[in-house]
Amino acid sequence: MILIADSGASKTDWACVSRESDLQIRFQSQGYNPNYISGPQIVEDIRKNLPEGFPVDDIDEIYFYGAGVTELQYPFMTETLLKVFPGAKTVFIAMDTLASCRALLQTKPGFAAILGTGANSCLYDGRNEGLNVDSCGFILGDEGSGANLGKRMITDYIRRNMPKNVYDLVGKALGKNNDELLDQIYTKPFPNRYCAQFAKFIQDHYDFDPYFRNLTTEAFRDFFRLIVTHYPDYQKYTFNAVGSVAYHHRALLEPVVKEFGMEMGVILQAPMPGLIKYHLENK
């Protein structure tokens, strides 16, 4: 049995599949960025979310793709997963960027991006992740991500850098004063998730005031200006992306893609269907 995990900043999508049958078991758990969560917490959360009767002892191969999972965390994640699935003979750990590559492009070389709660991108050689211009994470970067959209809006709200009608609307949605917002971002757990939840609010109010469309467009332009344009010959690739922001905000993303001289390629809301296809067809 093969177990595949795509772990983002907010949640982890799991799929248990077999090359010998049509069996497919899908479930979700919280996101497991090892920079923010401990091994025992991961073990407890996986066990809590396993469907009843899940074939734990039959898992032979594990492919775990995670946000924030650099090579330094590979041993940690391997050890943690084996505590839940001790019979696994293969445990493959990689960044979530490789998941996006394989889901979007299968075995075809190209450019792949993630625009979800966080942001990332890389070149792909058809098997493994290649050059990666680091997004630098929520604090230093992640331009174009859901967390970045929310952070921009909250910053503008605190500074009153928005029209009065927008300020009143956003204030009701946030439900916190400036001090409470700063405390939320700087002292509470998972500030990236808190900010990212407002990406849908921004999208839902595109027609309320140009502020919301402009905010999103400028975030996408910064993603290209600060990250994508630093890939050599980036314009020779199609722009392929996975993630809720890329998928739901596509109407504003596509003009920016063309503005920077690229053509739109494949856009997926989530990588798991493509990952299942990849791992059933490639060992």
Question: Tens digit of pLDDT per residue, the chain (283 long)?
Answer: 899 999 976 789 999 998 888 888 999 998 887 777 788 999 999 999 999 999 989 999 999 999 878 888 899 999 999 999 999 999 999 988 899 999 999 999 999 999 998 899 999 998 887 888 888 888 898 999 999 999 999 999 999 999 999 999 999 999 999 999 999 999 998 899 899 999 999 999 999 999 999 999 999 999 999 999 999 999 999 999 999 999 999 999 999 999 999 999 999 999 999 999 999 988 7
**What is the residue whose two structure tokens read 């019979």?**
87
Alpha helices by DSSP H, the chain: 39-49, 74-84, 96-105, 137-140, 146-159, 164-174, 178-187, 191-196, 199-204, 210-226, 244-248, 250-259, 272-281
How confident is the model at residue 37, as a pLDDT? 78
Cα–Cα distance for residue pair 181/178, rounded to 1 Å: 5
Cα–Cα distance for residue pair 190/41, rounded to 1 Å: 15
Phi, psi torsion values for 184, nearest 5 degrees: -60, -45
Parse the chain into domains and list their residue ranges: 2-103+271-281
Strand 90-95 versus strand 61-66 pairing type: parallel
**b/e per residue 143-153 (b: at least 16 CB within 10 A):** bbbbbbbbbbb
CATH for the 2-103+271-281 domain, from 1.25.40.10, 3.20.110.10, 3.10.620.30, 3.30.420.40? 3.30.420.40
Cα–Cα distance for residue pair 94/176, rounded to 1 Å: 38
How confident is the model at residue 209, as a pLDDT? 96
